Chains A and B, each alone.
Chain A
């Protein structure tokens, strides 16, 4: 049934008995044109665009647990396209444009809220680096404004403008940035893909690849072997594990990133704010919870939980930025496993094995990329060639030196 206010009202009168499953819980068939490993945002978006844009409907999405159980359901829901490098900026802007039309595209309210993303700067050098990034955005038609301290103060008067150790000088604002409801993105893509014939198969873990010589011909799963002409993996956090099933080593480390939500309080933070004198970002959800986080813990982990030093670091930065946070309470913390690449940028490319395609390495920025990642991965799977906005995301760029290092930290994933 189509989602609309009219159907909602009609169902309200009928006790909501008429709503069916949001997506079909499919049984695996013996073969598909394309198998996507990973039922997170990226995998489901890929299936949606394969069916909708590229007309490939005989597609299965395999999820080892419940849909969205990885980073799609563990992020801080920020969307933005405020990137510096020419290899990144157009890609994230494509994603932003897809976000802007996502509700209508999916017939699902993913609560895309363009309430603005503000990056604060605290020194002249930081201001200039942000100006450089803002200028790159503007040159690609992306909105960016450099605010001085007075303008920041007008937006967020409760920041620490008086007693700060690193005084706020201003900020780079992307008004079109904001947040989206993360789970709804998963469910919306799943529903839309399912409606177009994609089989969504939960509790189906891939534990091997079917091969014909050097060619991948399908996957071995906990629910039997499934053949496919093409297999795409979109399993951020677990990429190394899944790739190792095909004997591939990738320039990726798995790291844990913690995030936090506070008790629900009456909304007072209007936009997404990032602190520039420490690693901290915060926004307030439509429920009233403050959603915030900081840096990755900094060591390899598959444990989906972190440790106290980073908890303290995040809260210290939060207090340094917004002393009014003091009596607001942290309600819950959690950890997600990030695919950290060696230059901080993702990979969307063919694997060195025919028939296998990789969508990986999203570091801690994968959520905002979901639509474009799905779109470009679908393009790669359907056409066999890279989408023009994702052409820099080559797997061989580390060997050739065509790196995409926004932060300049080099091959040290815990610093990106």
Chain B
């Protein structure tokens, strides 16, 4: 089956055969093959179909720039669409399928679109599919979408894992070709920390593709020897199969390591891929060059291949892509392929060079090999449906002739691979000397060497590489030992000018994958889409999966010629990360599924879990939502029971998630006066006060309590959601606004586990729990008292505060004692019928009490809106005071906090409903506010709600509607005070 495998000493291991399938058919290759080289070896030429016209396509390149040979790799949940056969390392059992074809690759019905090609020109869809208007979504677009896309996503969760890692180095070398190896070696020998990355699994770059000599050895041998020395240096890290795909600010490089893509499935505990963030003090970019196709009729047919790729297959993989190969070139490098083929004793049909004059040495060498040469000639077209069998050539005298060949190797010269030099905004510069763009102004920490810098000779690559590596190391304090220059076999410094062709018969493709032809570019120019960006966007040139690596410059040169401009003036499309496409999962790393965000657990979590609690996500926290008893299947039953227990006996709730901040210093009181809208400095030691915090724009930011433990010592509490935000706010006030104050703030949220103990029997419970540790009698420890004391040999704090509206306390203990403490509370309360309650019951009781929470503190409410306007102190300045006085924040029709109860008390309310007057039409201009929080109150046996109602303060007992069309509800309610329960607060003080 291995029809095209030839003898030779390439980089495949003939002792390790590998079998794989393509479109279900079994093939064989060797360790060291890519899927592309193995398919070529097996004589497979038709590999895929193009995007628009479904033209048959083969293998164009031998690298990551491949636009044509894309396959669906693997199967099931591991299926990967659009995988480049040219960089897919062969492994045992590899499954590949052709894509974007139906029913089969050889017979693809989609190819009928090719018949419509005269209509399907660039931008045709902008000119049609407009009538009738309703047809776009129903008829036209579905048809377009059926044809859209290339390969298929798996539609299943990716079963593999991914991870992220960080690396730091003095010198990062990108590319392990001759220039990169030389750079890494000189930097590495200096003792600097060096990282060398290459996307390939084999180092050496073009040394594996071209038969070159360094110091008398084959180039590939030198590469392996150099690789081995680098591997032996302790401060050098070699990262093969690793693509540096993006350059970011702060010398940060994004790289993808394909850890397991060359094996059937990842080994245990190995990720499929690892996403590296590399921080490098200096960078040497040695990313090589990419060969330019030529634009001529039929240049997309299977069997037309880049001349450099032909050499790669020949020398590295010992595969000849054909038996009789013609060459079409406009530069000297293409001739090397002729020589290489002749050397491998492959029949070279002809070397066709578009130029009239070439270096005599080239002619001599061709003559020596008996290769026919045609100068000043052009290929006009290629023939045969599924692969090249002949070419139509026009010679220098205008004669057309047919040349039989099964493969056409083409070369339009090489483009330095400047992509990574431009990610930070540097624009490439046109070099007339090599007819290509080279790196422009570089950031000071980056140098570019070898072919990437337009230095195409091997000696030049080695020398510029070594010098740049040495210089990079030196600039960060490492001196490399002197080294001699390498001896390299003789080479022509070949001309590399840009030639875009002119004549063609048949479609001449510029962007292969997207089927953008020379005619499309001409049409775009006629229609005024002449800038590089407009051209790209109008024709889709360069937007395919190769991002224009093989097409952009040709396209720009053609449009420049069509519009009488210089290619240099047209500029290039900015290269953007990623350099080659990167799996989304790799960028996410381990942060997916349940590990998307970390979980925060309170000290009482295990206890609550053992009690069978249902948990709810509260930001990163998991909090007990309710504690169902055996037999309770519906949340409302559990919650009603918990509320009733708190209102009649006693309950305990884990409130450890609330933010707790320790504020100390001589100016602590003055500081808190500026932070809070109400007065704090007048609070007595041993007392607690409610505190309301505004943003500087006058809106309420957060609320909580402030406890004064000592003259210069306060404990501030925040809501769970705003704990980090308030901490940052206090640090801002302390460090930025008022740095002269003597105040110190420390988060103590994690130090203390805190439990609310609430209900008429809570004091009894505490007496039993604390014994002599603290006198909790109403006289000794009245409402809003606080105390620090010692309990069971450890510090404890007690606050007499209540969110539920009952006689209540919050007990804080060191978090390590948190679980024991809640168990002790339950034990002490056992005969008092204590129940644990969760956030739902907490929510019901705070609504019954009319306390505001997250739904009301939504960042657009003022203190006055919340009915807390009288808290704003007039005796001092505080954050938010002045801007809260703006007219818009004091408009008389602003919605303010009210309570509502349904006229039919069992009718369910839904938060998010809007308030309307009884007779009003549902329209925005009649909107009078909305319902923010609702609950079924077991205490009052009715649904209740809090909401914001326009002029609500003056609308007591009015009937209005809660309009809720998204839930098909419209409920008549009565406006009440927001406090439904114990409005005088008698129970708090009892």
Which residues of A does B touch, CB under 8 Å? 3-5, 7-9, 12-13, 15-17, 19-23, 25, 66-69, 73, 86, 89-90, 100-101, 103-104, 107-115, 122-123, 125, 127-136, 138-140, 144-146, 158, 160, 163-166, 172, 181, 183-184, 187-188, 202, 262-268, 277-278, 285-288, 303, 305, 307-308, 311-312, 314-320, 323-334, 397, 399-403, 405, 407-411
B926 proximity list for chain A (CB < 8 A) = 139
Decide yes or no whether B313 CB sits under 8 A from chain A. no
Contact A308 B119 (CB under 8 A): no
B648 proximity list for chain A (CB < 8 A) = none
| Contact among A132, A160, A288, A315 with B587 in the assembled complex (CB-CB below 8 Å) | A315
- Greatest chain B CB density within 10 A among A187, A277, A287, A334 is at A287
Contact B913 A131 (CB under 8 A): yes
- Greatest chain A CB density within 10 A among B155, B697, B890, B922 is at B697
B534 proximity list for chain A (CB < 8 A) = 66-67
Within 422-437 of B, Cβ neighbours of A (below 8 Å) are at 423-425
Contact A165 B51 (CB under 8 A): no
Within 138-169 of B, Cβ neighbours of A (below 8 Å) are at 141, 144-146, 148-158, 160, 162, 164
Contact A287 B592 (CB under 8 A): no
Contact A286 B963 (CB under 8 A): no
Contact A166 to B698, CB < 8 A, known contacts A12-B118, A131-B913: no
Contact B585 A326 (CB under 8 A): yes
B16 proximity list for chain A (CB < 8 A) = none
Contact A323 B593 (CB under 8 A): yes
Shortest B896–chain A CB gap in Å is 16
Instruction: Report how far A101 CA is from B145 CA in the complex, Å.
Output: 22
Decide yes or no whether B80 CB sits under 8 A from chain A. yes
Contact A401 B886 (CB under 8 A): yes
B594 proximity list for chain A (CB < 8 A) = 163-165
Contact A165 to B922, CB < 8 A, known contacts A109-B130, A286-B145, A403-B888: no
Decide yes or no whether B523 CB sits under 8 A from chain A. yes
A181 proximity list for chain B (CB < 8 A) = 126
Contact A401 B887 (CB under 8 A): yes
Instruction: Report how far A136 CA is from B915 CA in the complex, Å.
Output: 11
14 A-B contact pairs sorted by A residue (CB < 8 Å): A4-B131, A8-B119, A22-B527, A109-B128, A135-B913, A158-B155, A172-B966, A265-B81, A268-B153, A286-B145, A327-B80, A327-B81, A327-B153, A330-B578
* Nearest CB in chain A to that of B911: its residue: A128
Contact B587 A139 (CB under 8 A): no
Q: Report the stretch among B182-190, B247-255, B490-498 that lies at the interface.
A: B247-255
B887 proximity list for chain A (CB < 8 A) = 400-402
| Contact among A100, A330, A397 with B888 in the assembled complex (CB-CB below 8 Å) | A397
Q: Report the stretch among B357-365, B685-693, B852-860 that lies at the interface.
A: B852-860
Given contact pairs A66-B533, A312-B589, enumerate 9 new A-B contacts (beta carbons under 8 Å).
Answer: A104-B130, A140-B923, A160-B593, A277-B597, A311-B577, A312-B588, A320-B593, A401-B889, A408-B699
B576 proximity list for chain A (CB < 8 A) = 305, 332-334
Decide yes or no whether B883 CB sits under 8 A from chain A. yes
* Nearest CB in chain B to that of A307: its residue: B248
Decide yes or no whether B789 CB sits under 8 A from chain A. no
Contact A316 B252 (CB under 8 A): no
Shortest A184–chain B CB gap in Å is 5
Which residues of B does A touch, CB under 8 Å? 51, 78-82, 118-119, 121, 124-131, 133, 136-137, 141, 144-146, 148-158, 160, 162, 164, 246, 248-249, 252, 254, 277, 423-425, 519, 523, 526-529, 531, 533-534, 537-538, 540, 544-545, 547, 576-578, 581-585, 587-589, 591-597, 599, 616-617, 695-699, 854-855, 858-860, 883, 886-891, 910-914, 922-927, 930, 932, 963-967
Contact B545 A331 (CB under 8 A): yes
B146 proximity list for chain A (CB < 8 A) = 267
Contact A330 B252 (CB under 8 A): no
* Nearest CB in chain A to that of B142: its residue: A267
Contact A308 to B914, CB < 8 A, known contacts A13-B118, A109-B129, A328-B153: no
* Nearest CB in chain A to that of B277: its residue: A308
B581 proximity list for chain A (CB < 8 A) = 262-263, 329-331
Contact B963 A139 (CB under 8 A): yes
Contact A266 B119 (CB under 8 A): no
A308 proximity list for chain B (CB < 8 A) = 246, 248, 252, 254, 277
Contact A22 B148 (CB under 8 A): no
Contact B155 A268 (CB under 8 A): yes
Contact A263 B545 (CB under 8 A): yes
| Contact among B80, B597, B888 with A400 in the assembled complex (CB-CB below 8 Å) | B888
| Contact among B254, B912, B913 with A130 in the assembled complex (CB-CB below 8 Å) | B912
Shortest B159–chain A CB gap in Å is 9
Contact A86 B51 (CB under 8 A): no
Contact A66 B531 (CB under 8 A): yes
Instruction: Report how far A326 CA is from B78 CA in the complex, Å.
Output: 9
Contact A316 B589 (CB under 8 A): yes
Contact A318 to B584, CB < 8 A, known contacts A263-B545, A334-B576, A407-B859: yes
B81 proximity list for chain A (CB < 8 A) = 263, 265-266, 327-328
Contact A144 B966 (CB under 8 A): yes
* Nearest CB in chain A to that of B843: its residue: A124
B595 proximity list for chain A (CB < 8 A) = 165
Contact A113 B137 (CB under 8 A): yes
Instruction: Report how far A298 CA is from B599 CA in the complex, Å.
Output: 25
A165 proximity list for chain B (CB < 8 A) = 593-597, 599, 617
Shortest Cβ-Cβ A-B pairs, 9 listed: A408-B859, A326-B158, A288-B149, A401-B888, A131-B912, A401-B886, A326-B585, A323-B157, A329-B581
A8 proximity list for chain B (CB < 8 A) = 119, 124, 127-128
Instruction: Report how far A110 CA is from B930 CA in the complex, Å.
Output: 38
Contact A22 B578 (CB under 8 A): no
Contact B912 A135 (CB under 8 A): yes
B78 proximity list for chain A (CB < 8 A) = 327
Shortest B271–chain A CB gap in Å is 12
Instruction: Report how far A394 CA is from B581 CA in the complex, Å.
Output: 44
A285 proximity list for chain B (CB < 8 A) = 148
Contact A135 to B145, CB < 8 A, known contacts A3-B126, A408-B860: no
B51 proximity list for chain A (CB < 8 A) = 264
Shortest A267–chain B CB gap in Å is 5
Instruction: Report how far A66 CA is from B162 CA in the complex, Å.
Output: 41
- Greatest chain A CB density within 10 A among B119, B126, B150, B162 is at B126
Contact B149 A287 (CB under 8 A): yes
B119 proximity list for chain A (CB < 8 A) = 8-9, 12
A399 proximity list for chain B (CB < 8 A) = 886
Contact B137 A7 (CB under 8 A): no
Shortest A292–chain B CB gap in Å is 9
Shortest A78–chain B CB gap in Å is 16
* Nearest CB in chain A to that of B537: its residue: A183
Instruction: Report how far A323 CA is from B583 CA in the complex, Å.
Output: 12
Shortest A80–chain B CB gap in Å is 15
Shortest B919–chain A CB gap in Å is 15
| Contact among B127, B149, B583 with A326 in the assembled complex (CB-CB below 8 Å) | B583
* Nearest CB in chain A to that of B157: its residue: A323
Shortest B361–chain A CB gap in Å is 43
* Nearest CB in chain A to that of B79: its residue: A327
B544 proximity list for chain A (CB < 8 A) = 264
* Nearest CB in chain B to that of A203: its residue: B531
* Nearest CB in chain A to that of B933: its residue: A128
Instruction: Report how far A37 CA is from B199 CA in the complex, Å.
Output: 46
* Nearest CB in chain A to that of B695: its residue: A410
Shortest A34–chain B CB gap in Å is 23
Contact A86 B927 (CB under 8 A): yes
Instruction: Report how far A305 CA is from B136 CA in the complex, Å.
Output: 34
* Nearest CB in chain B to that of A260: its residue: B584
Contact B136 A286 (CB under 8 A): no
Contact B911 A409 (CB under 8 A): no
| Contact among B133, B154, B425, B911 with A324 in the assembled complex (CB-CB below 8 Å) | B154
| Contact among A21, A67, A136, A326 with B160 in the assembled complex (CB-CB below 8 Å) | A326
Instruction: Report how far A3 CA is from B131 CA in the complex, Å.
Output: 11
Contact A86 B924 (CB under 8 A): yes
A134 proximity list for chain B (CB < 8 A) = 912, 965-966
